[in-house]
Structure formats: C-alpha cells, structure tokens
Amino acid sequence: MDVVNQLIFLGGGLAVISILATRLSARLGAPLLLIFLVLGMLAGEDGIGGLHFSNFRLTFAVGSVALAIILFEGGLKMPRDVARLVGPPAFTLATLGVLITAAIVALAAVLFGGRTPLEGLLVGAVLASTDAAAVFMLLHGKGQAVNRRVTGTLEMESGINDPVAVLLTLICIELVAHPDLNVGWFVLREFLLELVGGVVFGIGGGLALRVMLERLTLSLGLYPVLAAASVLTVFAGANLAGGSGFLAVYLMGVMLASAPHRAQQVIGRFLDGLAWLAQITMFLLLGLLVTPSALVADLGFALVIAIGLIFVARPAAVYLCLTPFRFDWREKGYIAWVGLRGAVPIFLASIPILAGLPNAQSYFNIAFVSVLASLVIQGWTASRAGRFFGLEVPDQALDEDYPDLGLGAAGTGELCGIKIGARARALTLNYDKLPLPPGSQILSVIRGNHPLDHFPDERPALGDYVIALAPAADIINLQRLFGERRQDKVTDLAGFGEFVFGADTPARDLALLYGLPIDSLGKRGGEVFPPIWDETLGDLLHQRLGKTLVVGDRLELGEVELVVREIQDGRVSSVGLELETQHKHVQATRLADWLLRQTGMRP
C-alpha cells in the first residue's frame, strides 16, 4: 500500500511541478514540452530523483493513448475553411515530404555514421515526421500569431504525417528481421491499410460521434466523456484493423469541428484540459525513460544527424513539396524552421527495442538527441522566426475562458456568458444595433451585479456581462464582438504596412499616386490580367493572389507592397501599404499630400 501511495504522490507531484513550470517557460521563452522533458530527466536515474524506469512497452502504450487525445484535440481546433485551404500542401508534406526527409537523413547516416543503407533509412524513418504535440503547443501558445495558411499547413501536416513514418519504420524493421521479404507487396499492402483504414475509421467515427451527440439525451458532463471514449475506441479499432489510429483520430476531430454539435463548448474545454494532461504525462514518461549517461556513446553522431535534419533535410523537403503551391519564400522558410520533432520520433525509436533488433538502443539515443536539439534550436527561436520572415499578424485573442451554460439536450443552440472586455467592438453601438450572427439573441445584460431592465436602449459598457443564445458555430463570432480585443499591434509589425486603406479604395488612386504603369501590372508569369483601372484594392488582391486569402498575404506592385490586414466573410476588408525602405521618405510625403487633398485640407 505504501508503494502505491508513493507512486501516486510522485506522479501527482511531478504533474503539479510541470504545471507550475509553465510560468518558468513563459519567462525563459522555452518550449513547454522541453520543460516537461527536462523535468522527467531530472526525476530519472541520472537526475536528482534517482528513479529507475526502463519500461519501453508501458511508455509506448501510454504515449500512444496520449498522442491520440492530442491529435483529436488538434483536429477539433482546425476550422473547416482552413482545412480546405491547406489540405493539398499539407498532404504533400505529410507524404512526399516524409520520404524526402528520410532519404536525406539516411544519406547523412551512411556518409557520416558508417551505417548500412538499410540502417540509415531506419534512422531517417524514425526522424522523418513532425510532432503534433510540439507543433500544436507551439502554434497555439500566446505571444505571437502567424499567417493562418502557414500555421494550418504545419498543424495538418503534423496531424497526418505519422502513417508514412510508421510505415517506413515498420518496413525497415521487417527487412532487417526478414531479409527475404517481398518488399514491393509488403509496402503496398501496409500503405493501403494504414491510409485507407485511417481515413475510413476517422470519417466513420467522426460521423458516428456527431450523430450520437445530436440524438442522445445525456447529462451535460457525460458528453465530453462520450467524446473521449469514442476517440479511444476509434484509435484502437483502426490499429486492430491494420489502419493508422493516429490519422483516424485526427480526421475524427476535423469531422467533428466541421459542423455544429451539442455541448460544443464543454467538449472543447474538457478535451483541452485532457490534451494538456496527455502532453505532461507523455513527456514526463519520456524524460524518465532516458538515461543521459547512456546518450554519450552516440552523442556526436546524433548531433550530426540533428543538425542535418534541421538545416538540410527539412528545408529541402519543404521547398520541394511546396513549390507547386502558392507559398512565398517567407512562408516556406517559416514552415521549414517550425517542423518540430517531439514524442513521435521517440516512440518510433522504441519499436526497434521492442522488436529486439541488434544495436536498437542507438536508434533511441539518436532520436532523443534530435528531439532535444529540435526543441532547443527550433522551438526556442520560433517567435523570432515569425518576426524574421515577416509573418506576424494581429492576435485575435479568442482563447479566453468564457462560462459554458450549455442547454445539453434541450436544443441545437448554446447559452453563453461573455464579459465585455477592453476595446471590444461592441462598445461602439447600442445593444439593439449590434450586428449579431443570424439566429443569435441577447437574453440579458448584467451590469454591476444587477440585470438591466431595458438593455436594448443602452450602450454596452466595459465589464457588462452578456447572456446570449446562439448556434454553437456562432459563439466564436459573439466572442469576437464582446470579448477583449488586444491593442492593434499591426503598426508595430515590421513589413505589415505603414498606411491603412479600406478594401473599397480604387486601385487607380494608388497607381496614379505612385506612378505605377498600368500596362506592366496586367501580366505576371505569363498570365494576363485585366487592367486595374476600375478595380478596388480588395478586388485586385483577390484577382492576383487567388480567391482564398489570409491575413498577411502580400502583393508586390512596383515599388510598393499591398498587405492583407483584415478579412471579413471571406473577403479582404482592410489593406496595408508597405513602402520599400529606400523610397519610404519620398513616398510617404507624396501619400500625405494626396490624403490632404482628398480631405480638402490642401487645395
């Protein structure tokens, strides 16, 4: 009994310390997962805790469940429009990109480590996939927001690239264990089973969960439990059928996020907390599992592989895979830099140990050092990379905690309570004039602990507590309307535009102002566009860059650059004007003169 209590005390204590360490992470700017990993190492055999833990099978099982929860929660946060936008490039990175990365790492292992081609390919397969837990936590962390096309691509890639990496790893292990294996048939069979099985279970599980949430009448607290249990069922079922359980649960989350469902808020919050617990548990166990003194034998070779992976293999894969898609060099550079490695490579490196392959410990050592290097070098500098590549955009700050007053089985609408924050958009109009989403209704407004009797005639005030009924999918729009809005830091973001124009501004005004030749703007890469004379800035951006744009997209026009600053209902609503450095003084003077004439302040 004392041993059990000691284990519970140790586990709970480590979890508490990990949560408290998040404050240290914020101060140091270090990736949270690195903090969790280091805490596990400190509690381990070579650390101050002195705990001996070497159960690879238990770690693999617990880590697999944890990663399934993390992937589902990541899919749940993927908006449907973003999924459509980044699907093709993310899928290319998750398949061809994994193969390219594995091949380059394998070449480095053969040239610099004296490994056989098959051993080198096994090293490459283990390290080829980016990690969902690391990428999700980094991109969803506060302090920086980046172009949604970029973050969406990174998130979806990390969510669906595991099957290819797992397949490559299993192929290499099978070839080592069974040299006479028919490689062609084995590869085809495993690939089809992993991919098709994951897709079928993921889509089917997502649809089944949506039906259950819509039709079952349950206590409100049971809906998130039902969702979590369904995730584990689909994950294990896909694996038992030979498919990819990781792919299945990610797609299941995307399916659930693509349509409103009952208890949406409570499920989202429960899964958010469960994902945090999964990440803490997983990385603490991985830290406990490693013995730092055992890494010394492979440290030099592992560092060579890690540097090659970060600075050669990942950038090469990204640039080759994203060339057919509309990504500029800045977006490619950021995607290349933020392809973090985390728990997945360590899990894959434990498979050779579980399979009893010779020299299996070296694969684990190489993977662990590579993950540490990735979290330290890439994870620690991700925010600086966003600024370096000029991809920062205003943070919408929609991750605040709002009380969930869900109606449960009573209907499709959700009750929500939102406190009006500083600089909220709602502060400019009376309650009866606010642009509420269709089907939404304000039921009551509480000010100073007392409900307002005639709130429609009142102007919203800071601190008002709004009780509203709305479709689940529109709650986020109410949060945008009533919730606190951070100070607009756009003007402080380098390259985001010194001047701001409405999307309905005639493009010809800027063309005349800057002396931009109309004819030269009608062609790009052999493609002919109509003259811009009669277009607005918004029309011009959509015509030249495509129908689906995100905040931060850019269009170069001679000596200036137009930057998408804000989008409403899928259309550009605000445009920034970025001046080239060497022309800023002259152009700013001309722009100021033009603005004065337009307002009648100068004849």
CATH number for the domain including 545? 3.30.465.10
Question: Where in the sequence is the domain holding 178, given as residue range(s)?
Answer: 2-388
- What gap in Å lies between CA 531 and CA 535, rounded to an integer? 8
Triad 244, 340, 167: Cα angle to 5°? 25
Together in a domain, 326 and 201? yes
Q: List 471's β-bridge partners, or say none.
A: 413
For residue 160, the model assigns a pLDDT of 84
For residue 313, the model assigns a pLDDT of 95
| Residue whose structure tokens are 């997945």 | 344
Structural domain includes residue 208: yes
From the centroid of its chain, how far is CA 357? 35
- What gap in Å lies between CA 90 and CA 327, rounded to an integer? 12
Triad 103, 71, 340: Cα angle to 5°? 40
Domain boundary among 355, 388, 421: 388
Q: List 404's β-bridge partners, or say none.
A: 416
Q: Does the structure show a pLDDT above 70 at 61?
A: yes
- What gap in Å lies between CA 34 and CA 134, rounded to an integer? 9
Together in a domain, 332 and 378? yes
For residue 484, the model assigns a pLDDT of 79
- The 10s digit of each residue's pLDDT in 357-405 is 888 889 999 999 999 999 889 888 887 888 788 777 765 544 445 555 5
- What gap in Å lies between CA 515 and CA 500, rounded to an integer? 19
Structural domain includes residue 488: no
| Mean pLDDT of all residues in 327-354 | 88
Structural domain includes residue 118: yes
Together in a domain, 303 and 342? yes
Q: Does the structure show a pLDDT above 70 at 411?
A: no
Q: Which of 175, 166, 165, 188 is nearest to 118 (CA)?
A: 175
441-447 β-sheet, strand order:
413-419, 465-471, 441-447, 450-451
- What gap in Å lies between CA 27 and CA 13, rounded to an integer? 22
Structural domain includes residue 301: yes
User: 530: how many CB neighbours lie within 10 A of its CB?
Assistant: 9
- What gap in Å lies between CA 174 and CA 405, rounded to an integer? 53
- What gap in Å lies between CA 554 and CA 496, rounded to an integer? 9
Supply the DSSP string of 2-38, one letter for each residue. Answer: HHHHHHHHHHHHHHHHHHHHHHHHHHHT--HHHHHHH
Residues of the chain with pLDDT > 90, as a percent, come to: 16
Secondary element (H or E) of residue 288: helix 264-289
Together in a domain, 382 and 438? no
Together in a domain, 78 and 125? yes
Q: What is the DSSP letter of 436?
A: P
| Mean pLDDT of all residues in 564-579 | 80
For residue 481, the model assigns a pLDDT of 84
- What gap in Å lies between CA 258 and CA 210, rounded to an integer? 10
- What gap in Å lies between CA 261 and CA 212, rounded to an integer? 10
Q: Give the pLDDT band of residue 226 (cuts 50, 70, 90).
A: very high
Q: Compute CA distances 331 → 101, 153, 318, 382, 593, whole Å.
A: 19, 10, 10, 13, 35
Q: Does the structure show a pLDDT above 60 at 568?
A: yes
Query: Which value, to the nearest 10 degrees, does the dihedral of the CA atoms of residues 136, 140, 145, 151 take?
Result: 20
Together in a domain, 439 and 575? no
| Mean pLDDT of all residues in 326-353 | 88
* Cβ neighbours of residue 239 closer than 8 Å, sequence gap 6 or more: 245
C-beta of residue 459 within 8 angstroms of C-beta of residue 430:
yes
For residue 409, the model assigns a pLDDT of 46
CATH number for the domain including 170? 1.20.1530.20
- The 10s digit of each residue's pLDDT in 249-276 is 989 998 888 776 667 778 888 888 888 8
For residue 525, the model assigns a pLDDT of 44
Together in a domain, 327 and 413? no
C-beta of residue 466 within 8 angstroms of C-beta of residue 442:
yes
- The 10s digit of each residue's pLDDT in 74-121 is 888 877 777 778 888 999 999 999 999 999 999 999 999 888 888 899
For residue 216, the model assigns a pLDDT of 83
- What gap in Å lies between CA 160 and CA 91, rounded to an integer? 7
* Cβ neighbours of residue 585 closer than 8 Å, sequence gap 6 or more: none
Together in a domain, 119 and 206? yes
C-beta of residue 67 within 8 angstroms of C-beta of residue 343:
yes
Q: Which of 396, 319, 339 is nearest to 135 (CA)?
A: 339
- The 10s digit of each residue's pLDDT in 8-55 is 777 788 778 877 777 666 566 567 778 888 888 888 777 787 778 788
Q: Which range among 514-518, 526-530, 580-584 has the greatest average pLDDT?
A: 514-518
Q: Does the structure show a pLDDT above 60 at 406?
A: no
* Cβ neighbours of residue 21 closer than 8 Å, sequence gap 6 or more: 32, 35, 36, 39
C-beta of residue 141 within 8 angstroms of C-beta of residue 133:
no
Together in a domain, 250 and 289? yes
**Long-range Cβ contacts of 23-30 (<8 Å, 24+ apart):** 29/380, 29/383, 30/379, 30/380
Together in a domain, 124 and 31? yes
Q: List 343's β-bridge partners, or say none.
A: none
Q: Compute CA distances 541 → 65, 391, 562, 589, whole Å.
A: 45, 18, 8, 25
Structural domain includes residue 396: no
Domain boundary among 388, 418, 450: 388
| Mean pLDDT of all residues in 278-290 | 85
Q: Give the pLDDT band of residue 582 (cuts 50, 70, 90).
A: very low
Supply the DSSP string of 459-523, one letter for each residue. Answer: PP-TT-EEEEEEEGGGHHHHHHHHS------GGGSTTS-SEEEETTSBHHHHHHHHT--TGGGGE
Domain boundary among 434, 454, 482: 482
203: number of CA atoms within 13 Å, CB side? 5
Q: Does the structure show a pLDDT above 50 at 410?
A: no
* CB-based burial label for 320 (10 Å; 0-12, 13-18, 19+): middle
Structural domain includes residue 403: no
Together in a domain, 312 and 383? yes
Number of domains in the chain: 3
Q: Which of 351, 317, 347 is nearest to 332 (CA)?
A: 317
Q: Give the pLDDT band of residue 489 (cuts 50, 70, 90).
A: very low
* CB-based burial label for 248 (10 Å; 0-12, 13-18, 19+): buried
Q: List 527's β-bridge partners, or say none.
A: 524
Structural domain includes residue 490: no
For residue 183, the model assigns a pLDDT of 65
Q: Does the structure show a pLDDT above 60 at 233?
A: yes
Structural domain includes residue 394: no
- The 10s digit of each residue's pLDDT in 342-355 is 888 888 888 888 88
Together in a domain, 36 and 136? yes
CATH number for the domain including 468? 3.30.70.1450
